[in-house]
Each structure stands twice: as C-alpha cells, then as structure tokens.
C-alpha cells in the first residue's frame, strides 16, 4: 500500500455513506483507476471510476473490498462475492447490525476484516469512524485500514463490538441531532423577535464557530460554557434553564438510548 491507498478498491454498493467516503478519498488523491464500484443500476459514480453491474471473475491480491450496500443484502452478496475472496483480500464493512462473526462466517477465506461505523461528515474529512476487528486481522491489516480511513476524520478502535450500537447512536446519528438543535436555535431566535432569515444565518454561524472553538480549546466544553457565563449575566440565566434538573442531559441521554435500542432491535431482526 502506497500513501495509504490499497492496490485496488472494490466497492459493493455506493450509496450515501459509501459515496461520501469515496468522494473524500478521490479528493485526497486516490487514483480513480484503482476503484471499481459494483452497482446494479450501472449509474456513474465519479470520473475515471469503473462501474460494473456484475461481479468480476477474480479479485487481485491487495484488493480491499468495501461492503457499502444495504445490510439486508449481505446474504445475496456473500453468495457471489465470497468465492472471489482469499487471504490476500481485505474487507471493510460499513453494514449496520452485521457483526464481525457474521462477516467471518460468510467470507471465511478473506484475510483482514474490519467493521466500521462512519458518519456523513466523512465526506468533508471531519467525520467519526468507529472500528472493530478481531485477532484474525493482522497488525499490518489494522495499520492499512487506519491509513485508508485517516482522510475521513477521527477513527476510534472499539475494544468491544457490543458498543457499536451505542457509538452509532452518538456519532452516527449525532449529526441529525445537531441539525435539529441548530434548527431549534434558529426558530427560538425567530420566536423572540429576530427576523427568520437572520436567525437562521446567525444560529448556523454560532454553532459552527462554537464547535471550532471547542475543538481547539485546551479545556472541556463544560468548562468553556462556565467561562462564557458571567455570574448574574445573560448567558448564566440561559444556562440555568438548560441545567435545571439536568434537563438537557436527560433529554440527550433519552435520545441516544432510543437510537441505541432501535439499533439493537434491528440487529435482532425486529
């Protein structure tokens, strides 16, 4: 692997998430001639990327397969893809609810297999990717996956696969929860008399600036909030509302619990 890129990438499916990942890699210098995308529709993906509608006869040594289709399709995909996989093929799965054990059982000859849970900001290089693998994956395999995923943002190895639904609730679903917060902040501004278009622009810029400040700070966000809030001032009065009876913490905990529980139910087939 040179400069973090596999010899070849073979993407099974290229929907919203896999498409964001691929676009980021291409923006960061991945040669599109190294990429093949299997798409039943045959629709184009990006300039120079080969799109096929059927499986190849073989996968070359050094190929990294990315499973980016819908999780319910894994059995059909494995029936055709598993015979092509061998010890010199690596696999990265972004299939929600599909465990590493299931992947090992369906693709028994495959060498390194890593399970990943990215979120949509990976397309901007500001995503979060949770990773899990087992002892069958070599140290070099782990390093290669880290190099491949590096351009996408923060990557975190999880010690326990059971954490995946909880991580998905936090970072996978988190962007949607933050979008809802930005919208609520904007609408609240409108509710207290700020023109709607100005409230929307100011809410967005406030969240963006505050997030960048928090990321660069040497203290926790909780400490930053207290530093901004002067005793008896406007910010403190607002924080008193959010902090009363831990209402914001309670709301966010309930939100993540609901998302986590739904993930676990989906994994059971409910």
CATH number of the domain encompassing residue 121: 3.40.50.720
Give the total number of structural domains in the chain: 2
Q: Work out the angle between the directed axes of helices 221-228 and 196-216 (0-180°, nearest 10).
A: 120
Q: Work out the angle between the directed axes of helices 234-243 and 247-267 (0-180°, nearest 10).
A: 40
What mean pLDDT comes out for the span 99-119?
95
The residue from 105, 123, 158 where one domain ends is: 158
Query: Edge to edge, what strands does the sheet with 35-38 contain?
Result: 50-52, 35-38, 8-12, 63-67, 90-93, 113-118, 127-132, 153-157
The answer on 180 and 135 residing in a single domain is no
What mean pLDDT comes out for the span 118-129?
94
The answer on 21 and 146 residing in a single domain is yes
The answer on 182 and 144 residing in a single domain is no
The answer on 16 and 120 residing in a single domain is yes
The residue from 98, 130, 158 where one domain ends is: 158
The residue from 124, 158, 192 where one domain ends is: 158
Query: What are the pLDDT digits (tens) for 205-263?
Result: 999 999 999 999 999 999 999 999 999 999 999 999 999 999 999 999 999 999 999 98
pLDDT of residue 267: 76
The answer on 141 and 58 residing in a single domain is yes
The verdict on residue 80 lying in a domain is yes
The answer on 52 and 20 residing in a single domain is yes
Q: Is 1 a residue whose pLDDT tops 50?
A: no
Query: What are the pLDDT digits (tens) for 57-66?
Result: 999 999 999 9
Question: Which residue is it, tokens 């622009």?
Answer: 201
The verdict on residue 219 lying in a domain is yes
The verdict on residue 118 lying in a domain is yes
The verdict on residue 163 lying in a domain is no
The answer on 261 and 141 residing in a single domain is no
The verdict on residue 184 lying in a domain is yes
What length is written for the chain? 270
Quickly state the pLDDT bin for 2 (edges 50, 70, 90): very low
Domain span including residue 255:
174-267
The answer on 149 and 19 residing in a single domain is yes
pLDDT of residue 3: 56
Ordered alpha helix ranges (H), the chain: 16-27, 74-81, 100-106, 139-149, 164-167, 174-191, 196-216, 221-228, 234-243, 247-267
The verdict on residue 180 lying in a domain is yes
The answer on 143 and 12 residing in a single domain is yes
Query: What are the pLDDT digits (tens) for 157-200?
Result: 999 998 998 999 999 999 999 999 999 999 999 999 999 999 99
> What's the mean per-residue pLDDT of the chain?
93
CATH number of the domain encompassing residue 253: 1.10.3730.10
Question: Which residue is it, tokens 């970072």?
Answer: 171
The verdict on residue 3 lying in a domain is no
């Amino acid at each position: 692997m040179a400069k973090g890129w596999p010899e070849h990438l073979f993407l099974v499916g290229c929907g919203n998430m896999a498409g964001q990942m691929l676009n980021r890699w291409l923006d960061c210098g991945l040669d599109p001639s190294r990429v093949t995308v299997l798409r039943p529709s045959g629709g184009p993906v990006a300039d120079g990327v080969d799109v096929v509608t059927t499986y190849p006869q073989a996968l070359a040594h050094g190929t990294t397969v990315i499973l980016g289709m819908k999780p319910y399709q894994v059995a059909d995909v494995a029936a055709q893809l598993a015979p092509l996989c061998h010890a010199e093929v690596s696999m990265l799965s972004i299939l929600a609810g599909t465990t590493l054990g299931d992947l090992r059982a369906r693709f028994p000859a495959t060498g390194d297999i890593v399970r990943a849970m990215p979120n949509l900001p990976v397309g901007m290089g500001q995503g979060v990717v949770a990773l899990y693998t087992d002892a069958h994956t070599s140290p070099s395999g782990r390093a290669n996956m880290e190099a491949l995923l590096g351009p996408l943002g923060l990557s975190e190895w999880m010690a326990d696969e059971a954490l995946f639904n909880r991580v998905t609730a936090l970072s996978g679903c988190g962007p949607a929860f933050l979008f809802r917060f930005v919208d609520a902040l904007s609408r609240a501004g409108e509710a207290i008399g700020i023109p709607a278009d100005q409230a929307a622009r100011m809410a967005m810029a406030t969240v963006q600036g505050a997030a960048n400040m928090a990321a660069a700070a040497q203290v926790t966000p909780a400490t930053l909030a207290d530093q901004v809030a002067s005793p008896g001032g406007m910010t403190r009065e607002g924080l008193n509302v959010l902090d009363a009876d831990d209402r914001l913490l309670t709301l966010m905990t309930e939100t993540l619990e609901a998302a986590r529980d739904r993930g676990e139910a989906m994994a059971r087939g409910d």
